[in-house]
Structure formats: C-alpha cells, structure tokens
Copies of this chain bind each other. A is one copy, B any other.
Amino acid sequence: MLTIKDIARLANVSVSTVSRVLNDRPDVSEESRRRVRAVIEEHHFIPSNTARDLVRVNPDTIGLIVRGMQNPFYTDIILAIESALEHAGYTMVMRQIGFSDNEIEAGAVMQREKKLRGIIFLGGRSDYSPEELARVSVPYVLCSYTNACGTLDKSAYSSVSICDEDAARDAVEQLIESGHRRIAALVAGTDDSTISQLRYEGYCRALREHNIPLREELVFTTGDSFAIEDAYHAMDEALTRTTDFTALFAIADDMAIGAMRALREHGRAIPDDCSVIAIDGIAVSEYIHPMLATFCQPKTELGTKSVELLLDMIEGRGGHRQVILPTTFRAGASIRSI
C-alpha cells in the first residue's frame, strides 16, 4: 500500500501538493494534479485519513451509494432501505455520486473509510470487470439494477430489480396496440451499460416483434443523464430535426415530464399529436396534465428486498441471488389510439 510520501516521490511533487489534490483544493497547478492522479490511478491508491482510521470497525454500518440522487424515483426506495436497516438494528450511511462517477471506486473508498459491513448500490452500471468488483470485499447488493448484461456470473453477485427490458417492451407494445408505428424513444444512452441500455433494448425488441423497422433518427439520447432538464433539452433539440413520430417512449417518468414540456413548446399537444409512455411510476406523474401512462416499479419492495438479501449474506443465511420484481401498468391520459 502506497503512502502519501510514496505518491509525492513517484509524481515528483511535494507531499502538501498530494494532500491538496486529494482534498480537491483549487490551489494546485493542472500539471501537478494530472501527475498525482496518474500515480493514484496506476496504483489504485485509496486516500487514507488518519483520524478516521483510528475509529474501530462499525459492525452495524451499511453503506448506500446512490447514483444520481436527484432522481425522484429513488426517494421511496431510500426511505424503504433506511427503515428496513434501522428496524434490523443497522445504521445506514449514504453517499451520492454523479451519473458518470465510478460507484465501485466510491464503494471501495467508503468501505474502508466507514468500516462498512455491506453496501447497497442504488442505480448503476454493469460493465465493471470481476477485478474491479473485487475491490469491494464486503457483501453488496445491486438495487434497481441487475448485472445481467455485465461480465459477472450469476453466482457472483446479488441484485433486486425489475426486468427492465421486459418493462420497456411492454410499454412500447402499449403504444403499438394503440395503433402507433412511428414511435420515438428518449433514452440516456443506448450502450451505456445502465438501465437505459436495457430499456433501449426492450424498445428495439418490441419494434422487432411487430416488424417495425428501427429508425435511428427517432432514438434521442441525453448523453449519460437521467435528469429532467437534460431530457427537456434533448427533446427540444430532437424536435428541430424530426417530428415524424406519433408516440414517444421515455425510459423514465421524470424524463417523460421534461420531454412533454418540449413537445408542448414545439406545438405538439399530448396525446393529440403525440402519445407518451414511460417507466417508473413516481408520485408526481399521476398529478400532471395529462396524467402519464407508465409502468410502475414496486419501489418499497425494491428497497426492503435489497436489505433482506444483504442481511442474509452478512448474517450467513444465504448466498448470491438475483430477484426480479414485477411492474404494474398504470393507465394515463397521455396515450391516444390512432
């Protein structure tokens, strides 16, 4: 294990410069920052904090790492996880990371700093290698994400999620059954190894099953964000290029709400000019106008089941499992039959 002194030597900078980089201080030259980061990355160094390291192991502490906390869909899941852990006598420590952050890195750091017993990853990506995942040495559960398209064998991880691909296929099928064939999709990315990719694949499958050719110009992406404002901007931009669709499948309720504003601003009434459907079932989507048709995830159960799996592993009652929970269709006024 490297010390800060080793890093300073390898990066050819002072110890205080390393410390400033580790603490994300602005008073460091870009060149020094780059050199320190290169050494850190090369050696998989995890910053240590003397004061924190003196605290003993916390036998009851579980970490929750949330990717993209602002996602309103997570609120009820976090509530359920916190309650279930509390009820079982554990303490939840939460850390929020950005859409493009590395959660395995965050988990490895948090595990060490907070002396965790286990980790629940909420949201996330699946393209980590077994070597990367091995850096997290405590039990962990992937919540609202299954590693199905990742590189791990089913015997090597635990997850609780819906079947994202099926839910997306079902959502697009609702549109097809209402007579739509020119169906656009609003996704984060199509190959980003997140639920966005899984839901995009469900969209493609529904089209394929109904012999509707996939038209790439009708697939709108935000980049890597699930945020409402980015969905709005992506849709706003897309509508300057094409309006040749009668329905939109958005991979998340919040993104659908952002898209609906862009549609209205471009003079496209919902559902008269464009039907909209999504997946998630957040509270507010039942109150907007028109009410959003969506496939609801069992939010509370996603949280409680994740805790159950994690505690089974920690307390020696069970090994790895992948739990798939069902979604429920909630009809809305955002779909019109044509």
Question: With an 8 A cutoff between CB atoms, is A317 at the interface?
Answer: no
Assess the B70–A283 pair: CB atoms within 8 A: yes
Asked if A201 is at the interface of the complex by the 8 Å CB criterion, the answer is no
Given A70-B79, A70-B283, A94-B94, are A89 and B51 neighbors across the interface (CB < 8 Å)?
Answer: yes
Q: How many copies does the complex hold?
A: 2
Residue of B69, B95, B228 touching A283 (CB-CB under 8 A): B228
- Residue of chain B at shortest CB distance from A69: B79
Give per-residue flags for A27-54: 1 if the beta carbon is below 8 A from chain B beta carbons, else 0: 0000000000000000000000101100
A284 within 8 A of B: yes
> How distant is A170 from chain B, measured CB to nearest CB, in Å?
25
- For A86, the closest partner residue in chain B by CB is B95
Q: CA–CA, A258 to B289, complex, Å?
A: 11
Q: Taking the nearest CB of chain B, how far is it from the CB of A226, in angstroms?
A: 12
Please, could you name 19 A-B residue pairs with CB atoms under 8 Å apart, sorted by A? A49-B89, A55-B56, A55-B58, A58-B58, A72-B72, A72-B75, A82-B96, A83-B96, A86-B95, A91-B114, A94-B94, A228-B283, A232-B287, A254-B284, A257-B287, A260-B289, A284-B284, A288-B288, A288-B289
A contact residues vs B (CB 8 Å cutoff) = 24, 49, 51-52, 55-56, 58-60, 69-70, 72, 75-76, 78-79, 82-83, 86-87, 89, 91-96, 114, 228-229, 232, 254, 257-258, 260-261, 264, 283-284, 287-289, 291
